[in-house]
Amino acid sequence: MSARFGSVRARATLGATLVVAVALLAAGTAVLLALRSSLTDQADGRAERSARAVAAQLAVGTPYDRLSAMDDDERPVRIVDAGGRAVASSEELERIDVPDPDDDAGDDLDPGEIDDETRYLDGTATVDCDTASYRFAAVAVRGPDGGPVTVHAGAPLDTERGAVGTALTAMLIGFPLLLAVVAGVTWLVTRRALRPVEGIRREMAAITASADLARRVPEPDTHDEVARLARTTNETLAALEASVERQRRFVADASHELRSPIASLRTQLEVGAAHPGLLDVAGAVEDTVRLQRLAADLLLLARLDAGEGPVPGARVDLAALAREEAAGRPGVTVSAAGPVEAGGSRGQLGRVLANLLDNALRHARTGVSVTVREEGRGEDARAVVTVADDGDGVPAADRERIFERFVRLDDARARDDGGAGLGLAIARDVAVRHGGTLTVGDAPAGGARFELRLPVFRDARDAQGATRPGP
């Protein structure tokens, strides 16, 4: 039960019902106040007309016993003098209870003059033994004897109270019914709206239980938030499936690549143990070095996949780094006009250059040329390193595939010459981690031309100088 009332549907229904209840309460209060004000104004008008009709007769000197305007039984009238004593009243009127009159009312009036101001009072009157609530209008005037008097004329409030009571009763009956309808409709509409979400939840639970990432959640044929949620969920599942598949292929390929040098090394060691004179020490060392390099590549890829990036604020002179990497490799020439600094890890960028040079030397016929330069200005400045060989080049259809892991275009090529197919994948991953790009195209000599583009290093002072206005 607690789970049901903690559901989105229950909270939406409760929230909608509360909002409607508050709105109905505010609207009902406003309606009742407006109705009461309107009916009270009507009672004031009737009472004032009666009071002024009597005052008009008094203003022309009509005696109290001949006031025809006092004959309306529904509107009791009483006339009081300045001392508050009744000097005349309606025939059936027995008693009037109103607030104390203003003794000074009418003192400044001339004979025959009626006061323009009307005072309104709430009170009760007893007419023919029946006591009821009235709205009284008080009008001052000079009486037949020349003294100031006040005419109190009342209009019954039974109609006003009856109308307000009827409206209140209707609201007390209708509002709960309306709230029940709102709650029911909201419950049904929310259940219908959330039905696809429940389908997504069930399918996700089934995917979790079965670990089958090839399954997808149902996408409703709508254009609302639930449909977008389903599409995003399926996109996430597709990306997760692709990531898991890449991980599986990576593990399988790594196991395959590790099996060959390990098996070769074991064979050589077993032969050496049985026949010490036949031990190929150089071959064993070569397999060990190859195994060590492969393990280092796998470790670097694992760190890159974990999100390892360059240390902020570090700078590397790519021209000097290119010369260092080329120093131990015959046939490599480096061309650089001067220092070209990029931000990033010296070790990782050195691995990129080393991998590019090793790849170029494996395919070059005579030599490899390296060019380091800076392009652009300000925020668009880039450090560009190109590595070109004069080999057979890379076919256009394979220029993206060669950056995938464990990919070797020449499968017939010996593993000792071709490596494990991780060098270019590592180079691109490092370039991307450093905010750059690595692409391949045609070299002027007909071979492959790899181009590494990285943001030029700019410290805080450089940035301020670039944005500072000139003289």
Q: Nearest 5°: CA angle at 267, between 263 and 268?
A: 120
**Domains detected in the chain:** 1-212 (no CATH), 225-303 (1.10.287.130), 311-467 (3.30.565.10)
Task: Characterise 446 by phi-psi region: left (phi > 0), alpha (psi -120 to 50), beta (else).
Answer: left
**Mean of all residue pLDDT scores within the chain:** 83
Q: What is the pLDDT of residues 85-131, one digit of tens each?
A: 888 888 888 888 887 655 566 667 777 788 889 999 888 888 888 88
CA angle 15, 20, 22 (to 5 degrees): 95
pLDDT level of residue 136 (50, 70, 90 thresholds):
very high
**300 versus 367: which is more confidently predicted?**
367
Count of CB atoms within 10 A of residue 411's CB? Answer: 7
List pLDDT tens digits, range 10-65: 888 898 999 999 999 999 999 999 998 998 899 999 999 999 999 899 888 888 88
Where residue 1 falls among pLDDT bands split at 50, 70, 90? very low
Taking the C-alpha atoms of residue 334 and residue 321, their distance in angstroms, rounded to an integer, is 10
182 Cβ neighbours under 8 A, 6+ residues apart: 16, 17, 20
Q: Which H or E run contains 371?
A: strand 368-375
Q: Is the pLDDT of residue 226 over 60?
A: yes
The Cα–Cα gap between 427 and 354 comes to 9
Pick the range with the lowest mean pLDDT from 66-75, 87-96, 233-242, 449-458: 66-75
pTM attached to this predicted model:
0.52
Which 3 state secondary structure label does DSSP give 133? strand
- Taking the C-alpha atoms of residue 132 and residue 138, their distance in angstroms, rounded to an integer, is 18
Contact 444, 393 (CB under 8 A): no
User: Can you tell me whether residue 173 is helix, strand or coil?
Assistant: helix
Which has more pLDDT, 273 or 177? 177
pLDDT, mean of residues 68-90? 81
Distances (CA, A) of 455 to 323, 341, 360, 437, 452: 20, 9, 24, 10, 10
Q: What is the pLDDT of residue 162?
A: 87
pLDDT digits (tens, 9 = 90+) for 321-349: 999 999 988 999 999 988 999 988 898 89
- Tell me the pLDDT band of 470, cut-offs 50, 70 and 90: very low
465 against 459, higher pLDDT: 459
Q: How are the residues of the chain apportioned to helix, strand and coil, as percentages rounded to the nearest 5?
A: 55, 20, 30
pLDDT over 80 (residue 460): no
pLDDT at residue 415, as a whole number: 44
* Closest of 385, 304, 300, 309 to residue 341, by C-alpha: 385
